[in-house]
Amino acid sequence: MSDLRFSDDPADLDFERVHRWLSEQSYWARGRTREQQRAAMAGSRVFGVFDGASGVQLGYARVITDGATFGWLADVFVDPDARGRGVGIALVEGITTSLAPLGLKRIVLYTADAHGLYEKSGFRPVPDPANWMVLPGPGFGHDVHD
């Protein structure tokens, strides 16, 4: 039996822990308010990985999707004390398995430093990056990867 448990049930998530991780420890969501985090979670499919013995949440991610054609994987975070245990791999593989029945045409993400993690689950660099465009909003600042 695995020492990790994946969940796609929003009721399983520890909101305060997730908010603290993202608003205090991530490079992309530092300073995010509780209200912003609640709205982000409400507009997304949310996922977590938990310690199988203690039940403590070890990782979090969300996917913004229309449920039919497209998904954006965002806010992937693994507790620093749990890194090296396979939490990130369990999280990403759990998400892709959970979304597979939707038949999405593509799932995209932005990462500054975890390319190897995502490649293990089949993610590849965008083949046509010149075709992608972004309209930064006032909440983006200089970063376009949130």
Q: What is the pLDDT of residues 94-125, one digit of tens each?
A: 999 999 999 999 999 998 888 888 898 889 99
Name the one residue in this structure whose structure tokens are 């403590």. Answer: 56
Nearest to 19 by CA among 63, 66, 71, 57: 57
pLDDT at 112: 86
Quick one: average pLDDT of 85-96? 95
pLDDT at 141: 56
47 φ, ψ (degrees, to nearest 5): -145, 150
Buried b (16+ CB within 10 A) or exposed e, 129-138: eeeeeeeeee
Q: Which residues pair with 87 in a beta bridge?
A: none
Cα atoms in the 13 Å half-sphere on the side-chain side of 98: 21
Q: Tell me the two tokens of residue 115.
A: 């390319």
The pLDDT tens digits of the residues spanning 36-62 come to 999 999 999 999 999 999 999 999 999
The terminus-to-terminus CA distance of the chain in angstroms comes to 35
Furthest CA-CA distance within the chain: 47
